Amino acid sequence: MTARRASLMVTCLGDLFFPEVGVSIVRLLRKLGVAVDVPADQTCCGLPLFNSGYHADAAAVAGRAVALFRDSEHVVVPSGSCAWMVKHEYPGLLADSALAREASQLAARTHEFSQFLVRVLGVTDFTAAVPGRVTYHDSCHLLRGLHESQSPRTLLGKLKGAELVPLPGADECCGFGGSFAVRLPEVSSQILAKKLANVESTGAGCLVACDAGCLMQMGGGLKRAKSRVRALHLAELLDGGR
Amino acid sequence: MTTRAEFISRIREQVQKTPGRFSAASARRPQHPAAEADTIRRELAERWPETLEAFRREFEGVAGVFHRVATIDMVPAVVSRIAHEREARELVTWHSAALGADLAPALGARGLDVHPMPESEPGGVAERERLRAIAARADLGLTGVDLAIAETGTLVLVSGAGRPRSTSLLPPCHIAVFDRTVLVESLRQVGVLLEAWHGDGRPPAAGAAINFITGPSRTADIELTLTRGVHGPKEVHAIFVEQPIRG
Amino acid sequence: MSDAELATPFRQRADGAMKDAFLQEALTIATTKFIGLRRDAFAGFPEGEALRDQARAIKEATLQHLDHHLETLIGNVERLGGHVHYAATPAEARSIIVDIARRTGARMAVKSKSMATEEIHLNEALEAAGITPVETDLGEYIIQLAHERPSHIIAPAIHKTKGQVAELFSRELKRPAEPDPEALTRIARGELREKFLQADLGITGANFAVADTGTVVLVTNEGNGRMVTSLPRVHVAVMGVEKVVPSFTDLMVFLAILAKSATGQKLSVYTSMVQGPRRAGELEGPDEFHLVLLDGGRIAQIGGPLREALSCLRCGACLNVCPVYRQIGGHAYGYTYPGPIGILLTAMLEGAPAVKDLAHASSLCGACVEACPVRIDIPRMLIDLRREVDDKKIAPWTERVAFKLLARLLQHPRLYRFAAKAGRIMQKPFASDGRIGRLPLFFGEWTRTRDLPPVASRTFQERWASEKDLQA
């Protein structure tokens, strides 16, 4: 274990809609001996602005984040898409600004949550908060942006009290896509319906993802269908005591 | 109308503002393609049995029918068996010079109507039309092969005098005769040979078309149901002759 | 698609496609099958990944000297006795081809499948000039008989059932047709064989053109490409300028990955390389060969933001994996080129305003980049198009204002916190049991099919600031 200090970038969706994810991450990291801080006045990584083409505004938001996390040793992000934004797009967005160098440095110090546990801390033994059969959905930015499919599966595979079952079409989009979900709601909903049919086919009681956007989409669909399957962030499931 | 000069200058203008954002390099071409082609041939001469076996596997994988005989004299028997099984009589064939052997008498003796294509320029339009009509109504088309690619099970045929394009295209059954001298392993090697044919080496023929044929004509355009023989042949046979055809 | 159909907003066209039960089934079956075929083809081909990188590098290198490579190509085609024509616009391309047809007295033209001729709407122009165009790719033949347009780049008629095709053949060809693919294919073979032998003019596209030998390369499975380039007196190939590759060595790299990406075949059945008109001693081959080089918006992108899209091989792999294409199919996009790459090509050919809605027809999931044989970064260019649509104020003002407000809010934590509080108050009438089931206005687009989590009674940052045990 190499990291003793980490800052949580809670992200807008994590802050506003899924505060318990942040709480779980703080508890887990602390148990692992990592000192956690949360720089104040966080808002958003700027991905929604970036994806819709408002790049000057996204750069301004990115600049704020770079300044906020200036002193962080490691930055841990609960969503693959936001981690991808910081790691892949900040350096380009801020390339012509005074923050260019810092943006690249922040990109290197930033980690998606599961990657931080497995690839930085090297810890993989946890106990499930919700026992039983679980299945895992690859969020697009984590899988194809950060090329990560193994870390979450390693953690879930070794999770005490849980049985990981494969999700058919795990690597297919859930239909969230940010503003896509409301610009083309019919298409987004049909993609979701196919995803959820796959989820139900696994017999899992718990659907895990590492992205608040996917969880909002899939969790919202499951709740609307009154499914017994719960959509949880990986951190919530790992947070079952050691 | 846009002229060549205008057209190219528009492109040049754009090319000059090209951002050099991506890694860029065209493939490394052989410096002396003919020499490299010779090297490939020499190396392959030693391992042709493996190459042939790989070719057979791939060729059968694309629904080709593979046959093997010891000498070119045994080819007519195979051809006539194929013909009889299909109740076929009319056969159109490349000229003997292009095939490397004159099989017409033997095929004729086995009851086939054999139409060899002429060795050189077939006269005027009317004569060309007549020959094409023969190919269009023939049941079988007999050709040679200029390359057989093991990686993909592909037959490469170069058009030219005495080796019309239609022989391997219009009849519903195409029969190709080849030997170890045309076997190659990979598409990469084919690249070297094509460079040689167009560079310092000698092409197999002087026609304007090179056709790669990988199995019978197919389509899956109706409900993705695989169907063979939509425009080209429904069947492709490859007869391997152990003894090199041209001795 | 006609102007009238295009007048229907994209969202409605997409919705209509999703209500077509047969189309839905056909799309699922076809795209799933293509995905599996492609995956298996590359699984058995370990060198494929390196070849994909190399193919991309070749396309890039070629673009950087496109003027030079085209001049080489032109020189070689002319040396071989062919004629080269230059079309800046679709209209110019149409008139070049119609002129050739008229001059040579052609009454009927057989065509092998070509997206470039679809793009320039050639068939309508030929018909208007009294020349009958006959599509000879089976899928294209079907949709030509049905007066439709292709719905997939490589499988143009995947939206039709065998029953529909049988009905179409019976009606249009005036002969009985059983709904059996084998029998239908046999009928088409018979009908089209006559046309191949009668036609005066053969029209093709080009998958590649090899500059240093003046070779036009056509890849087909049916053999129609060979027919069209061998039998008629005149052959016209229509080619986007970006299709040129420097040498045969380069060509082999592309051939090794093209069919695997498209249909999972190691090679398509026929790769036909034609080098000008019929030569001395040849029985077949055209007396005249014409190459029409097409700009149509491509040239401006050599140094433009859509440059990467000029590397597209038209394999269709990105369509099959696209979650949006898989729901709505090709027609809903409204233009010649569907799917994710189609949005970029439409922007290239028709201009950015044409894709103001289409640019958003993607969840940016990135499956297309992964499937693309030359790894075109489609999502990045879609985002750039969205940006252009915003910057040029083509996007609706309401949207631009909303995003400007969002930008303000995200740059000012006090505004952000205020918005959270406001959200909590405003959501009250709609939230129950920790879920929001129905929201008014724009937000209702979400809640029609999905619940929304309410803004937390205390945000994470509020809890962090106040809960001692969280901080300890």
Residue of C nearest to A173 (CA): C365
Give C333's DSSP letter: G
Is C226 within 8 Å of B198 when comparing Cβ atoms?
A: no
Instruction: Give chains near B: 3+ CB pairs under 8 A.
Output: C
Superfamily of domain C45-296: NagB/RpiA/CoA transferase-like (3.40.50.10420)
Cross-strand pairs, B140: B91, B173
Q: Collect all residues of chain A within an 8 Å Cβ-Cβ radius of residue C369.
A: 144
pLDDT at A102: 98
Chain A nearest-CA residue for C441: A182
Structure tokens at C322: 């696209």
CB contact under 8 A, C363 and A191: yes
B contacts of C266 (beta carbons < 8 Å): 58, 62, 151-153, 214
Q: Is residue B200 part of a domain?
A: yes
The phi and psi torsions of C52 (rounded to 5 degrees) equal -60, -45
- pLDDT, residue C160, reads 92
The H or E element containing residue A231 is strand A230-233
pLDDT band at C468 (very low <50, low <70, confident <90, very high): confident
Q: Are strands B235-241 and A230-233 parallel, antiparallel or unpaired?
A: unpaired
- Sign, Cα dihedral of B181, B185, B187, B192: negative
Q: Which residues contact C400 (CB under 8 A, 6 or more apart)?
A: C390, C393
Domain extent listing, chain C? 45-296, 397-471
- pLDDT-derived band at B21 (thresholds 50, 70, 90) equals low
d(CA A39, CA A22): 13
Cβ–Cβ contact C458 with B under 8 A: no
Q: Give the pair of three-digit tokens for residue B104.
A: 């017409």
- Label residue C214 left, alpha or beta by phi (over 0 means left) and psi (-120 to 50 means alpha): left
Return the residue of A nearest to C465 by Cα: A40
Report d(CA A2, CA C45) in Å as an integer: 40
Strands (E), C176-327: 201-204, 208-210, 215-220, 234-240, 244-245, 270-274, 288-294
Residues facing residue B183 across a β-bridge: B148
| Structure-token match 């030219």, residue found | B160
CB contact at 8 A, C209 and C273 = no
State the CATH number of the domain containing residue B157: 3.40.50.10420
Residue C260 to residues B221, C49, C266, C290, C357, Cα–Cα distance (Å):
17, 12, 5, 30, 32
Structure tokens at B127: 């004569």
B57 part of contact set with chain C, CB < 8 Å? no
Asked if C386 and A48 touch (Cβ cutoff 8 Å), the reply is no
CB B188 within 8 A of CB B196: no
Proportion of chain C above pLDDT 70, given as a percent:
99
User: Which 8-state DSSP code applies to residue C452?
Assistant: B
Rounded to whole angstroms, the Cα distance separating B217 from B161 reads 25
In this prediction, what percent of chain C has a pLDDT beyond 90?
92
* Calpha distance B113→C419 (Å, rounded): 89
pLDDT at C469: 81
Between chains, do C450 and A224 touch, taking CB under 8 Å as contact? yes
Query: Is residue C306 less than 8 Å (CB to CB) from chain B?
Result: no
CA atoms of B149 and B182, how far apart (whole Å): 8
User: H/E/C letters for each residue in C345-413?
Assistant: HHHHHHCHHHHCCHHHCCCCCCHHHHHCCCCCCHHHHHHHHHHHHHHCCCCCHHHHHHHHHHHHHHHCH
Residues of chain A scoring pLDDT < 70: 1-3, 241-242
Interchain proximity C407–A49, CB inside 8 Å: yes
Q: Do B7 and C293 touch (CB under 8 A)?
A: yes
Decide if A15 and C459 are in contact by the 8 Å CB cutoff: yes
Q: Are C377 and C340 in contact (CB under 8 A)?
A: no
B227 touches chain C (CB under 8 A): yes
Q: Is residue B18 assigned to a domain?
A: no
Instruction: Print the domain residue range for B162.
Output: 30-241
Asked whether the beta carbons of A28 and A238 are under 8 A apart, the reply is: yes
Of C327, C360, C369, the CB nearest to A191: C327
Mean pLDDT of C289-293: 98
Q: What is the pLDDT of residue C444?
A: 93
pLDDT at C239 over 70: yes
Is C425's pLDDT higher than 90? Answer: yes
- CA-based nearest distance A22→chain C, Å: 7
CA distance C93 to chain B (A): 10
**Do B and C share at least 3 CB pairs under 8 Å?**
yes
Flag if C267 and B214 touch (Cβ within 8 Å).
yes
Residue type, A34: V
Partners of residue B194 in chain C, C-beta under 8 Å: 248, 251-252
Q: How would DSSP label each residue in chain B?
A: ---HHHHHHHHHHHHHT----S---PPPPPSSHHHHHHHHHHHHHHSHHHHHHHHHHHHHHTT-EEEEESSGGGHHHHHHHHHHHTT--EEEE--HHHHTS--HHHHHHTT-EEEEPPSS---SHHHHHHHHHHHHH-SEEEE--SEEETTTTEEEEE-BTTB-GGGGTSSSEEEEEEEGGGEE--HHHHHHHHHHHHTTS--S---SEEEEE-SS-EE-TTTT--EE-SSS-SEEEEEEESS-TT-
How far apart are the CA of A105 and the nearest CA of chain C, in angstroms? 21
The verdict on residue B9 lying in a domain is no
Nearest-CA distance A49 → chain C (Å) = 7
Q: Which of residues 46-75 of C touch B (CB under 8 A)?
A: 54, 56-58, 60-67, 70-71, 74
Of the pLDDT bands very low, low, confident and very high (cuts 50, 70, 90), residue B20 is low
- Is B155 part of the contact surface with chain C (CB cutoff 8 Å)? no
CATH number of the A124-238 domain: 3.40.50
Is B232 in contact with C248 (Cβ distance < 8 A)? Answer: no
Integer Cα distance of B234 and C182 in angstroms: 12
| SS3 assignment, position C248 | helix
What is the pLDDT at residue A3?
64
Residues 6+ apart with CB under 8 A from A81: A47, A139, A140, A141, A142, A145, A211, A213
B121 part of contact set with chain C, CB < 8 Å: yes
- Which stretches does DSSP call E strand in A126-189? 127-136, 160-165
Helices (H), C45-180: 48-64, 66-79, 90-103, 115-119, 122-128, 138-145, 162-173
- Please say whether the beta carbons of B138 and B132 come within 8 A: no
Contact at CB, C67 and B8, closer than 8 angstroms: yes
Helix or strand holding residue C111 (H, E): strand C108-111
CA distance A114 to A158: 13
Among C216, C215, C232, smallest CA distance to C224 is for C232
Answer yes or no: do C450 and A141 touch at CB < 8 A. no
- Taking an 8 Å cut-off on Cβ atoms, the answer to whether B7 and C161 are in contact is no
Record the tokens describing residue B86, joined without a space: 């299909």
Query: What is each CA distance from C200 to B136, B170, C217, in whole angstroms?
Result: 17, 18, 21
Question: How many structural domains is chain B composed of?
Answer: 1
Record: contact A220-C403, CB cut-off 8 A: no
Comparing CA positions, the residue from A25, A95, A74 lying closest to residue A238 is: A25
pLDDT at residue B23 greater than cutoff 80: no
What's residue C319's pLDDT? Answer: 97
The reply to whether B214 falls in a domain is yes
Q: What is the pLDDT of residue A241?
A: 55
Q: Give domain status of residue B19, yes or no.
A: no
Angle between helices C138-145 and C181-198 (to 10 degrees): 90
Is the predicted pLDDT of residue C208 greater than 50, yes or no?
A: yes
Residues A53, C364: C-beta atoms closer than 8 Å: no
Per-residue pLDDT reduced to its tens digit, A4-57: 899 999 999 999 999 999 999 999 999 999 999 999 999 999 999 999 999 999
Strands C431-432, C244-245: pairing is unpaired
Residue B91 located in a structural domain: yes
Interface of C with B in 314-343 (CB under 8 A): none
Q: What distance in Å separates the CA atoms of residue C360 and residue A53, rounded to the nearest whole number?
A: 10
Assess contact for C411 and A43: CB atoms under 8 A: yes
pLDDT in tens, B105-129: 999 999 999 999 999 876 788 999 9
Read off the pLDDT of residues B52-102 as tens digits, 9 standing for 90 and up. 999 999 999 999 999 999 999 999 999 999 999 999 999 999 999 999 999
On chain A, the residues whose CB falls within 8 A of the CB of C327 are 187, 190-191
- Does the residue B141 lie in any domain? yes
For C299-321, the DSSP string reads: GGGTTSTTGGGGG-----HHHHH
Residue A119 C-alpha from the chain's centroid: 15
C-alpha distances out from residue C472 to A34, A238, C29, Å: 12, 20, 55
Contacting chains of A (3 CB pairs or more, <8 Å) are C
Confidence of residue B170 (pLDDT cuts 50, 70, 90): very high
Could you give the CA distance from residue C314 to residue C113 in angstroms, rounded to a whole number? 12
Q: Is B164 on the interface with C (CB under 8 A)?
A: yes
Residues of C in contact with A188 (CB under 8 A): 363
Six token digits for residue C14:
């997409």
**Is B24 inside any structural domain?**
no
A112-116, B125-129, C75-79, C415-419: which has the minimum mean pLDDT?
B125-129
Intervals of CATH 3.40.50 along chain A: 5-119, 124-238
What CA–CA distance (Å, rounded) separates C56 from C307?
A: 12
Contacts with B227 from chain C: Cβ below 8 Å: 181-182, 185
Q: Mutate which of A16, A18, A194 to test chain C, going by most C C-beta atoms within 10 A? A: A16
The mean pLDDT of B209-213, rounded to a whole number, is 98
* Residue A130, phi then psi, degrees to nearest 5: -120, 110
How many whole angstroms from its chain centre is CA C436?
Answer: 39
Cβ A83 vs Cβ A74: under 8 Å: no
CB contact under 8 A, A184 and C11: yes
Q: What is the largest CA-CA distance in chain C?
A: 94
CATH of A5-119, one of 2.30.30, 3.40.50, 1.10.890, 1.10.1740: 3.40.50
C-alpha to C-alpha distance for C311 and B49, rounded to whole angstroms? 39
Measure A116 CA to nearest chain C CA, in Å.
20
Residue C108 CA to residue C131 CA, distance in Å, equals 5
- Chain B interface, best mutation among C284, C294, C295, C348, by max B CB count within 10 A: C284
Chains A and B are touching, with contact defined as 3 or more CB–CB pairs separated by less than 8 Å: no
- Which chain C residues contact residue B97 at CB under 8 A? none
pLDDT band of C471, cuts 50, 70, 90: confident
C109: its two tokens: 């033209």
Instruction: Name the β-bridge partners of C83.
Output: C290
- Cα B70–chain centre separation: 22
Residue whose entry in the numeric block shows the structure tokens 């063979």: B228
Tokens 């189609």 correspond to what residue? C342
Verify whether the Cβ–Cβ distance C192 to B231 is below 8 Å: yes
